[in-house]
Structure 1
Amino acid sequence: TSCVCDPGFTGPDCSQRSCPDNCNNHGRCVNGRCVCDSGFTGPSCSDESCPGNCNNKGRCVNGQCVCNPGFTGPDCSKKACPNNCNGRGRCVNGKCVCDAGFTGADCSENSCPGNCNNKGRCVNGQCVCKAGFTGPDCSKRACPDNCNNRGRCVNGKCVCESGFTSADWRCINGECVCDDGFNGPDCSEKTCPNDCYDRGRCVDGKCVCDSGFTGDDCSENACPGNCNNRGRCVNGQCVCDDGFTGEDCSENSCPGNCNNRGRCVNGQCVCDDGFTGEDCSENACPGNCNNRGRCVNGQCVCNDGFTGEDCSENACPGNCNNRGRCVNGQCVCNDGFTGEDCSENACPGNCNNRGRCVDGQCVCADGFTGEDCSKKACPNNCSNRGKCVNGKCVCDVGFAGPDCATKGCPSNCNNKGRCVKGRCVCRRGFTGTDCSQCEEGMTGPNCDIGESNQEN
């Protein structure tokens, strides 16, 4: 016969806890709980899991993350950019780094070259320059009335053709028209590129940029702390190298941003309660399994000899086979069972220490009998020819001897003879089957007086 186990138990003797739906063949059953394979989760491992549990920034649907607004990526760990930068830039830490020619929070606007150098307005990607400036990026100084088409405009001043002059041009009859990079009446002063775009001072031909600007011509927005040499400066914002974060890349970053399950302290995750791992992506086990087991998906897989949610309890062999209670690692067996694991049937009264217990029945030592070996035994069980009373045979009629094995003589030959094989051998003077009669011619209590002598 085989065991038909109650719900929740399995095994040849129903001693093992079963798991729901046998973990759907997607995991292992440990102490009645499923330890799911990678990619599956749930009490019965029936649900497909998502990478990083979507970092609490989305929902897991059929093993794929459906991210909350503002987040993206297979595990929703990356900040999303508005409108995905409209395909006109890269998304870096949730902010668009626009391709050349585009600008705006989502790169939807056409940009103007050099941002019109702060000398004009950007309208639909084209610069509308302020008075006195011209060029695609408003970087050139304009000449009044475009020199009336009678000369060249050089750095905002007219160089008139022969025969013409201008009130706005002081270089007349030998005054210097300087080469690019120089200025002054005698061209002795070095100029700065694009006149530093009015974002700094020109010192000996080099721009000393105002706070917040950088570059040879101060045209670029500066990044705080120059990103501390831990990243690149893009449009005034730091794009940090791997391992660093912060506006100026001064902070050590933590892997996976601790998956929003802890705090980042000096580049290391300090995980919230219930989570562990370098990036806090793993579920923690209670009491860290007390160093008596391994933590798998938030559940303790205890070493041999230990049990409990946190492996704090001593385990009993065979879980006492469901025939007793486990107390401090030792089985306290239910009535009728015994052994270290309660696997053996117990004997009544433990056989009173007068025998051995075999499969729940007493095998009594010599001299004892009974279900619990409490009674004294008679030799050869009185040969089934009498009753055993306190270890002595009371023989049935016709039998005698310590074990009633000998045939008895009637009335024990009345003590007037010997019993030999069940027949009386009478003393002289006695006769009869039980030696109760005197021989013919004899009389007296001892049948030793002749009747003839009695007559005399």
Structure 2
Amino acid sequence: MKIGPDCSDSNCPGNCNDNGRCVNGQCVCDPGFTGPDCSDTACPNNCNNHGQCVNGKCVCDSGFTGTDCSEKSCPGNCNNKGRCVNGQCVCNPGFTGPDCSKKACPDNCNNRGRCVNGKCVCHSGFTGADCSEVACPGNCNNRGGRCVNGQCVCDDGFTGAECSEKSCPNNCSNRGKCVNGKCVCNVGFAGTDCSAKGCPNNCNNKGRCVKGKCICRRGFTGQDCSQCEEGMTGPNCDTGESNAPKYRILN
């Protein structure tokens, strides 16, 4: 249909609804309007071809967001625990994961463990809230010492790599071995720490050991108090007559 003074102009549908102008029978819509008759509300930037325009608003395709669908969206909108930057979540402190849904662990467990519900489960040989400490064998902290740089520093009275053994006084003066916290002295040494000279056969329990020499009870004699004094007989050397003092040091 032609219009105009000389019927040379083409008519536009709906006269462009007063939202545009008619050029050669086609509507040239004003900003904010679209469609063959300019009756539709336009969307910004035509939704950048990443969505569809519905009543002037962009309904973005999956993976895009924004008023004009120009921004890449993030999974789960980062669960409100971070911000979306170029389609990737930048999580707030304490959260991690592609959608910031997981609780983060301190220092990512220093790559020495795995993060479970915000807590580090350390690999063997490591310990601490962030798995930054070298663990000690046998957990000496619960025995008789403390862990320092992967080695047990034992409390008094304990020894061994795990502080699980009872220690002996003065390490038995290097004259015996430690068994369950008590010194078993080498031959020739005595005392709780094997620091004293021992007496032969421990004086056979018939005298006292003083500085490596036996002081025998009355009736006994010899280097180890194993003999009866002259004039004495019997299993206890108590039969007879002896003029010896009650105790005598044998040279």
Q: TM-score, normalised by structure 2?
A: 0.80
Q: Does 2:222 match 1:401?
A: yes
Distance 1:196 1:387, change over 3 A: same
Give secondary structure in 2 for the equivalent of 1:335. Answer: coil
* Distance (whole Å) between structure 1 residues aligned to residue 32 and residue 208 of structure 2: 119
Matching residue's letter, 1:362: C
Deviations 1:52-90 (A, max 9, x none): xxxxxxxxxxxxxxxxxxxxxxxxxxxxxxxxxxxxxxx
How many Å apart are 1:225 and its aligned residue?
Answer: 0.6
Structural mapping, 1:150-165, within 5 Å: none
Instruction: Tell me how far 1:293 sits from its aligned partner.
Output: 2.0
Q: Which residue of 2 aligns with 1:183?
A: 2
1:250 equivalent to 2:70? Answer yes
Is 1:291 the counterpart of 2:83? The answer is no
2:84 to 264, 270, 273: 264
Give the match's secondary structure for 1:316: coil
Q: Indicate which of 16, 21, 26 corresponds to 1:206.
A: 26
Instruction: Determine the C-alpha separation between the residues in 2 that align with 1:294 and 1:379.
Output: 63
Contact 2:12–2:37 (CA under 8 A) maintained in structure 1: yes
Structure 1 runs, 4 residues or longer, greater than 4 Å off: 184-190
Q: Which residue of 2 aligns with 1:355?
A: 176
Give me the whole-angstrom Cα distance separating, in 2, the residues matched to 1:406 and 1:343.
Answer: 45
SS at match of 1:290: helix
CA distance in 2 between counterparts of 1:212 and 1:386 reads 119
Distance 1:389 1:323 in 2: 36
> Which residue is 2:148 aligned to?
327
> Counterpart amino acid of 1:224?
P
Which secondary structure does the structure 1 equivalent of 2:138 belong to? helix
Q: Find the residue that maps to 1:363 and give its secondary structure.
A: strand
Partners in 1 of 2:47 and 2:227 — Cα distance? 117
Alpha-carbon shift at residue 337 of structure 1 (Å): 1.8
Task: Give, in whole Å, the separation in 2 of the partners of 1:257 and 1:384.
Answer: 88
**What residue in structure 2 maps to residue 273 of structure 1?**
93
Deviations 1:24-63 (A, max 9, x none): xxxxxxxxxxxxxxxxxxxxxxxxxxxxxxxxxxxxxxxx
1:220 partnered with 2:36: no
Cα offset, 1:316, TM superposition: 2.6
Determine helix, strand or coil for the equivalent of 2:147: strand
Q: Secondary structure at the match of 1:317?
A: coil
- Paired position in structure 2 for 1:390: 211
Q: Judging changes above 3 Å, is the alpha-carbon distance between structure 1 residues 362 and 298 closer, same or farther for their aligned structure 2 residues?
A: same
Structure 1 residue 322: Cα displacement: 4.4
Distance of 2:184 and 2:120 partners within structure 1:
45
Task: State whether structure 2 residue 160 is matched by structure 1 residue 342.
Answer: no
2:133 aligned to which of 303, 313, 317: 313
Counterpart code for 1:246 = G
Q: How does 1:83-102 map to 2 (within 5 A)?
A: none
Say if 2:198 is the partner of 1:377: yes
CA–CA separation in structure 2 for the residues paired with 1:223 and 1:354? 96
Find the aligned partners of 1:265 and 1:357 in 2 and give their Cα distance: 67
TM-score normalised by length of structure 1: 0.46
CA-CA distance at 1:188 after TM superposition: 7.3
Give the partner amino acid of 1:358: V
- AA partner of residue 222 (structure 1): A
**Structure number with bigger Rg:** 1
SS of residue paired to 1:318? coil
Write the mapping of 1:410-425 to structure 2, written as runs, cut at 5 A. Answer: 410=231
CA distances 1:101-127 after superposition (whole Å, capped 9, x unpaired)? xxxxxxxxxxxxxxxxxxxxxxxxxxx
Q: Letter of the 1:382 partner, please give it.
A: C
Aligned to 2:192, what secondary structure does the other structure show? coil
Deviation at 1:226, TM superposition (A): 0.6
Distance 1:365 1:242 in 2: 84
Please tell me whether the aligned partners of residues 42 and 56 of structure 2 are also in contact (alpha carbons under 8 angstroms). yes
Q: Which residue of 2 aligns with 1:177?
A: none
- CA shift for structure 1 position 348: 1.9
The 8 Å contact of residues 143 and 164 in structure 2, kept in 1 or not, is answered as: no
Deviation at 1:232, TM superposition (A): 0.7
Q: Distance in 1 between matches of 2:220 and 2:122?
A: 69
Structure with the greater relative contact order (CA < 8 A, sep ≥ 6): 1 or 2? 2
CA distance, structure 1, for counterparts of residue 106 and residue 150 of structure 2: 20
Structure 1 vs Structure 2: percent identity of aligned residues?
69
TM superposition shift of 1:187: 7.9
1:311 Cα deviation after fit: 2.3
RMSD: 2.8
Partner-residue secondary structure (3-state), 1:269 = strand
What is the identity, as a one-letter code, of the residue corresponding to 1:341? E
Asked if 1 retains the 8 angstrom alpha-carbon contact of 2:3 and 2:11, the reply is: no
Q: CA deviation at 1:219?
A: 1.5
Q: 1:203 to 1:278 in 2, by over 3 A?
A: same
C-alpha separation between the residues in 1 aligned to 2:71 and 2:190?
Answer: 87
- Unmatched 5+ stretches in structure 1: 1-181, 412-421, 423-432, 435-456
Q: Number of residues paired by the alignment?
A: 233
